[in-house]
Each structure stands twice: as structure tokens, then as C-alpha cells.
Homo-oligomer: A and B are copies of this chain.
């Protein structure tokens, strides 16, 4: 039987053997929600990079570039970290380079050892679950968290995926069980459940309540972003 496990922050990734696993990276507010939205709206590829400097180099090569630090857009880049910015006709068929505080770092960390790296969000939850079921590998959901700390929204996404797969996968460890139970508790009112979380308070101070509500919607899109080399494309 395949197994599913959850890593609550990239600072705990060293505890997980992932050489037989597909890793699903989740940074719900907002990197992976942006990636799913962008690929669903027709962006050709998204290249996650670790540093602002790398992002700038891609921009010089003609990529659209998105750089976020501490939930704010870095000056000199055209795209911010709001999913609504990725619903843009100018971007259709284009290539995007992106760096964010937590999400792109997690992708970079996972790609060295995982069988495949996918990008998940509530927006493509069902599509990710379906894709995983078609594969023969174990699953690790990697929550991007906030600067190494655990956060609520990424944990809830992880729990939603465990819940979706629990009949066919063995739940490996307590973090997966905890995430699933948190999702079961939260699923009828995700917005209410996260409303006291640290990151939602941080984002609300920035006036982006609309992004929060959007990112908590389930199954808006069928696209599954997958890492090919260093670039995410939709399948």
C-alpha cells in the first residue's frame, strides 16, 4: 500500500526519506495558489527561483518576473504575489520567473531527492488527488510554512489531501493524522478557521482579504503544476 505523510515545515524535511515519493508543495497564501491560477489561465511555464537576483536575471532574458519578500512585492518586478495578478491576458503563453519568501524555497529543497515535485493548492485539490492516485509512489505533502514555522493554512491543505487519499494510502505519521483531523474540523468553514491565524492577520494588515477568500476555494481548476527540470508546467 502506498503511504502519505506530511512535513509541516521545510525545516523538518531532513526527517523524511523522499526518494520514493512524489512531493506536493503547498504555500496557500499565496505562492502555490498563484502558480495554479497562472497555469490555469494559460501561462506556459513558471520557474521558481531562490533569490531576487536570479529572478532579475530571468527578467533580463524576457521572462515576466514576480518577487515577493515578507508578503510584499519587491521593487522593479512587474508581478506581485496576488493570484488575481496571474489572470492577465498579457501573460498567456508567456514564461514567468518567481521568488517568494517560503514557497519557492520549499520547491527548491524538495527537488533534489523527490521522484516528482507537484504544486498544490485548494484551487486544484481534486486534480492533485486524482493525479497522485494514478501514480505508484508514496506522497509527502510539504507545507511551506512561514520562515520555518508551521502555519495553519498549509497544514489544512495537507489535511485535505490526506482526507482525499486516506482510503488508498496508509497514513505514515502523526503529523499527517493531525493535519487530517484539523481539516475535518475546519472543512465547513475554512475562512472562519484560519481567521485568527498569524499569516491571515499579517495579510489582513496588508488589505488583501480578497486573496485569502479566493485561495480557500476548492477545485476551481484541473491543472496540476509539475516540475520538469527547474520549471513548472501544467499537466
Contacts and interface: CB of A to CB of B under 8 A. Distances in A.
A52 interface: no
Contact of A182 (B172, B182, B197): B182
A15 B8 contact: no
Nearest to A199: B174
A12 interface: yes
Interface in A187-218: 196-199
A196 to B, nearest CB: 6
Interface stretch (A34-42, A110-118, A147-155, A219-227): A147-155
Contacts of A149: 12, 15, 173-175
Contact of A173 (B14, B15, B178, B198): B198
Q: How many copies does the complex hold?
A: 2
Contacts of A150: 8, 12, 173-175, 178
A185 interface: yes
Nearest to A150: B175
A198 B198 CA distance: 29
Contacts of A44: none
Interface of A: 8-9, 11-12, 14-15, 146-152, 155, 171-175, 177-178, 181-182, 185, 196-199
20 contacts: A8-B8, A8-B150, A9-B12, A11-B11, A12-B12, A12-B148, A12-B149, A15-B148, A146-B174, A150-B173, A150-B178, A151-B174, A171-B196, A173-B198, A174-B197, A177-B196, A177-B197, A178-B178, A178-B182, A181-B185
